[in-house]
Chains A and B, each alone.
Chain A
Amino acid sequence: MSIDQTLPGSLAPEDKANLQAAAGAPEAIVAPPGGTGGPVLWMRKNLFGSLRDSIITVLLGAVLLYVGWGFFKWAVIGATWTAQTADACRANAGGACWAYLVEKAPFMLYGTYPFEERWRPTIVSLLIIAMLVSSCDRRMWNWRLAAMWVVGFAVSWILMFGGVFGLPYVETGLWGGLPVTLILSVVALAAAFPMAILLALGRRSNMPAIKALCVGFIELIRGVPLISLLIMASVMLPLFLPEGVTIDKFLRALVAFSLFAAAYLAEVIRGGLQAIPKGQYEAADALGLSYRLKTQMIILPQALRLVIPPLVNTFIGFFKDTSLVYIIGIYDLLTAGESAVKDPAWRGFANETYLFLAAVYFIFCFSMSRYSQYLERDLNKSHRR
């Protein structure tokens, strides 16, 4: 298509000529005027824009260099990289002891899981991580996602417990480390999700008894700290059950987590339900759809799509909150780290332990939060005009 055809006919001939020249002629591309680029100018603008800015920059830069150099000296220059016992590290007090991490990291990641069976939690952890990653792909957001998780949970169950296919049985009391953290957060979320949808719908119901029950449950759970729920699960739940029935501690913590997650997720989903325009409800009613069909086919698909980014953020919160099981003595990542610190043979390397634990948690949470930010931008594309 030539310029002639696209230009409106009312243009003067000389304008037409100019436009044609501009479209075709290379000399019309003008270089930016001098003095707007380059690192020096960038620094003058962004670091030393005013006297106050310059002072801030110099002070912050000095602090950053001091702290950074101190850390570098501790972590790299003065560090002990290999050692058979803690004595070599203790002799070198001014530096980090990475030999300790080499020795202890497997224990922090697997806890007290039997040594020769450690390949099982490894596979389970990798499986859960792989499922989390593939859940991020929007092409997977259909029945395949649910099928994948069901199969994944079944495989994880078999691998973690064992007792079939010639795998020795491993009780939950021996589970530990990263797989516990992953299982707690993922399973609790999966169990909480259907409950949360019902609670959110119930909270917006016009039946007073249902609404009161849902509001009461949500506000009760959200009003108390998670610790009190965990304490309740560990000391009160056994009293609630009939004589002879016992659930082990890990499962009890899972119940507490699911209830906790359900209340918070319900509020997130309610936000999505409230954001659906009234016209959608009315149109569904006008089509004569029953409440179940209306909810299932019109409302929930839209509402859930809206709340995916906040759901990811809530999940990050749960992932961090699983560390609270330390208080009721379940061997998650943090608990395993704490007992590694207290190991008499390697006592006194708390800094290295905490740095390692912080890095593991950070990698998981940071990548999830980046994903949620990306998703928010991506899903909002159609709303921005």
Chain B
Amino acid sequence: MAGRQPQASVPPRVAPWRDPVIRGYVFQIVVFGAVVALAWWLVTNTLQNMERQKIASGFGFITQESGFDIGDTLIPYSPASTYGEAIWVGILNTLRVALLGIVFSTVLGTVIGIGRLSTNWLLAKICGWYVEIIRNIPLLLQLFIWYKLITLYSPGPREAATIGNVFISNRGVQFPVPKADPAHMWMGIALLLGIAASFVLARWAKARQHATGQQFPTGWATLGLILGLPLIVFIGAGFPLVWDVPELKGFNFQGGVVLLPEFFALLLGLTIYTAAFIAEIVRAGILAVNRGQSEAAAALGLRPGTSMRLVILPQALRVIIPPMTSQYLNITKNSSLAIAIGYPDVVAILNTTMNQTGQAIEGTALIMACYLTVSLSISFFMNWYNKKISLVER
């Protein structure tokens, strides 16, 4: 027996071309070589074509003057600014519309998803048809519809609808903003302090409730901290508030801040479209929670709202988070449809840049780099959150 042991552990001799390990290596080398060869072929072609068509290469254009104006900027920008600044304006615009879209569509989608499960037949049916109709019409068409409705039914600047110092017209919504003041920075710091303090307070209140069973009105205290601290600074600094009010000069408004109709159309379209998908995710998540959980919550005497908030939703979230992540990524990517209705997002600005400089490769590479960065950050954050709330099993 002892003599046969080593013999059994020696693998049977196979020809090298039949050995799976060697075959694996050969296969990988061949495929990898083919991909490299393809890439090499494409790059040589491209270089030749660019030389022939006299297209410049490299990212030198970033520091050149852009020469075009952008309707909606979050940072100071003029046609004399560089392409780099223009791209930065575009990135900020994309991020702003994506972030707002994420917030609004989450709220709307959750409401509709819960509404679809309502015992009220009419509400459930309306929410169901909302989902079916919105989901089955292309987003681009919906954006056109919203844009048309907004521009068609809003008045000209001279007949603008006025609410206080806010002017609503087909040039967008103009509203006053406070002029910058040093005290505002301190108010911001106070706000951050308030948020930090409310986190500490919430932890303390939770620990106390665990220890003694006494509840603490965390909600009101948090509100007081977050709003109160900046308010104290504001009062202490002597009410430093001067409004920059928009005024009608000639054919358009001057001063204040404007949100373009394109921005509203894009935000509205993205929110309404994505909310339909989020509603389905929320509904599936809630249905995935065992019925016994809501019955147990009812047996403990929790009201329906409280049981939804404390029992059902926390468990449903575990089912909801992964598909929700891909919806958030979709909003970010879908915001690139802005180019079709003329909102200056990063794709639209880089498209203009490509047309002006002729440097298509660098432009497309920049678009892809921007979206990959955002996509990977969102998935990273959502994976972290998902891990945090997932069930810790024994």
Q: Does B337 contact A (CB under 8 A)?
A: yes
Q: Does A71 contact B (CB under 8 A)?
A: no
Query: In angstroms, how far is the closest chain A Cβ from the Cβ of B129?
Result: 10
- A327 contact set on B, CB distance < 8 A: 337, 339-340
* Complex partner residue of B375 from A56, A223, A239, A362, CB under 8 angstroms: A223
> Which of A101-109, A224-232, A272-280 has 4 or more CB atoms under 8 Å from chain B?
A224-232
Known contacts A228-B336, A239-B46, A323-B138: A223-B120 contact under CB 8 Å: no
* Complex partner residue of A225 from B118, B334, B361, CB under 8 angstroms: B334
From 198 to 255 in chain A, residues with beta carbon under 8 angstroms from any chain B beta carbon are 207-210, 213, 220, 222-228, 231-232, 235-236, 238-243
Decide: B120 and A47 in contact? CB cutoff 8 A: yes
Known contacts A227-B347, A236-B360: A53-B120 contact under CB 8 Å: yes
Query: In angstroms, how far is the closest chain B Cβ from the Cβ of A287?
Result: 16
Known contacts A46-B121, A56-B123: A228-B140 contact under CB 8 Å: no
Contact with A along B136-165 (1 / 0, CB 8 A): 111111001100100010000000000000
Decide: A213 and B31 in contact? CB cutoff 8 A: yes
From 325 to 366 in chain B, residues with beta carbon under 8 angstroms from any chain A beta carbon are 333-334, 336-337, 339-340, 347, 351, 354, 360-361, 364
Known contacts A228-B367, A243-B48, A323-B140: A235-B360 contact under CB 8 Å: yes
- A46 contact set on B, CB distance < 8 A: 119-121
Contact with B along A311-323 (1 / 0, CB 8 A): 0000010001101
> Which of A16-24, A57-65, A131-139 has 4 or more CB atoms under 8 Å from chain B?
A57-65
From 1 to 60 in chain B, residues with beta carbon under 8 angstroms from any chain A beta carbon are 24, 27-29, 31-32, 35, 42, 45-46, 48-50, 52
Q: Does A170 contact B (CB under 8 A)?
A: no
Bound Cα distance A121, B139 (Å): 26
Contact with B along A345-385 (1 / 0, CB 8 A): 00000110010011001100110010000000000000000
- A225 contact set on B, CB distance < 8 A: 333-334, 336, 347, 367, 371
Query: In angstroms, how far is the closest chain A Cβ from the Cβ of B149?
Result: 9
- A49 contact set on B, CB distance < 8 A: 119-120
- A320 contact set on B, CB distance < 8 A: 136-139
- A366 contact set on B, CB distance < 8 A: 132, 136
Bound Cα distance A227, B27 (Å): 34
- A222 contact set on B, CB distance < 8 A: 375
Decide: B141 and A323 in contact? CB cutoff 8 A: yes
Query: In angstroms, how far is the closest chain B Cβ from the Cβ of A292?
Result: 12
Q: Does A326 contact B (CB under 8 A)?
A: yes
* Complex partner residue of A316 from B136, B139, B334, CB under 8 angstroms: B136
Query: In angstroms, how far is the closest chain B Cβ from the Cβ of A78?
Result: 17
Q: Residue on B with the closest CB to A227? A: B336
* Complex partner residue of A365 from B50, B136, B361, CB under 8 angstroms: B136
* Complex partner residue of A239 from B119, B141, B336, B360, CB under 8 angstroms: B360
- A209 contact set on B, CB distance < 8 A: 28-29, 31-32
Q: Does B135 contact A (CB under 8 A)?
A: yes
- B24 contact set on A, CB distance < 8 A: 207
* Complex partner residue of A56 from B29, B49, B120, B339, CB under 8 angstroms: B120
Q: Residue on B with the closest CB to A49? A: B119
Bound Cα distance A210, B50 (Å): 32
* Complex partner residue of B340 from A53, A231, A326, A365, CB under 8 angstroms: A326
Bound Cα distance A46, B119 (Å): 6
Decide: B364 and A47 in contact? CB cutoff 8 A: no
Decide: B45 and A350 in contact? CB cutoff 8 A: no
Known contacts A210-B28, A228-B364, A239-B361: A358-B376 contact under CB 8 Å: no
Decide: B354 and A235 in contact? CB cutoff 8 A: yes
Bound Cα distance A357, B372 (Å): 32
Query: In angstroms, how far is the closest chain A Cβ from the Cβ of B265?
Result: 13
Q: Residue on B with the closest CB to A202? A: B31
Query: In angstroms, how far is the closest chain B Cβ from the Cβ of A221?
Result: 10
Decide: A223 and B121 in contact? CB cutoff 8 A: no
Decide: B122 and A47 in contact? CB cutoff 8 A: yes
Decide: A358 and B145 in contact? CB cutoff 8 A: yes
Of B24, B133, B138, which is in contact with the most chain A CB atoms at under 10 Å from its CB?
A: B138
The DSSP consensus for interface residues of chain A is: helix
- Count class of interface residues, chain B: 35 or more
Q: Does B192 contact A (CB under 8 A)?
A: no
Bound Cα distance A222, B162 (Å): 44
Of B31, B135, B136, which is in contact with the most chain A CB atoms at under 10 Å from its CB?
A: B136
Q: Does A324 contact B (CB under 8 A)?
A: yes
Decide: A243 and B52 in contact? CB cutoff 8 A: yes
Query: In angstroms, how far is the closest chain A Cβ from the Cβ of B94?
Result: 10
Bound Cα distance A121, B211 (Å): 75
Decide: A236 and B364 in contact? CB cutoff 8 A: yes
Q: Does B126 contact A (CB under 8 A)?
A: yes
Known contacts A227-B339, A228-B336, A240-B45: A61-B138 contact under CB 8 Å: no
- A226 contact set on B, CB distance < 8 A: 333
Known contacts A209-B32, A354-B144, A365-B136: A60-B347 contact under CB 8 Å: no
Known contacts A224-B333, A225-B347, A358-B141: A240-B42 contact under CB 8 Å: yes
- B145 contact set on A, CB distance < 8 A: 354, 358
Q: Does B368 contact A (CB under 8 A)?
A: yes
Decide: B144 and A338 in contact? CB cutoff 8 A: yes
Decide: A326 and B140 in contact? CB cutoff 8 A: yes
- A56 contact set on B, CB distance < 8 A: 118, 120, 122-123
- A239 contact set on B, CB distance < 8 A: 45-46, 49-50, 360-361
Contact with A along B364-390 (1 / 0, CB 8 A): 100110011001100000000000000
- A240 contact set on B, CB distance < 8 A: 42, 45-46
Q: Does A197 contact B (CB under 8 A)?
A: no
* Complex partner residue of A324 from B123, B126, B337, CB under 8 angstroms: B337
Q: Does A330 contact B (CB under 8 A)?
A: no
* Complex partner residue of B32 from A213, A223, A316, CB under 8 angstroms: A213
Q: Name B's A-contacting residues (CB within 8 A).
A: 24, 27-29, 31-32, 35, 42, 45-46, 48-50, 52, 118-123, 126, 132-133, 135-141, 144-145, 148, 152, 333-334, 336-337, 339-340, 347, 351, 354, 360-361, 364, 367-368, 371-372, 375-376
* A–B pairs, 6, beta carbons within 8 Å: A60-B126, A64-B122, A213-B32, A223-B372, A224-B333, A239-B45
- What are the 7 A-B residue pairs with the smallest beta carbon separation, nearest first? A365-B136, A46-B121, A225-B333, A225-B336, A320-B138, A209-B28, A235-B360
Known: A46-B120, A210-B31, A320-B136. 11 other contacts (CB 8 A): A61-B122, A220-B368, A227-B337, A228-B336, A228-B367, A240-B45, A242-B48, A320-B138, A320-B139, A362-B136, A365-B137
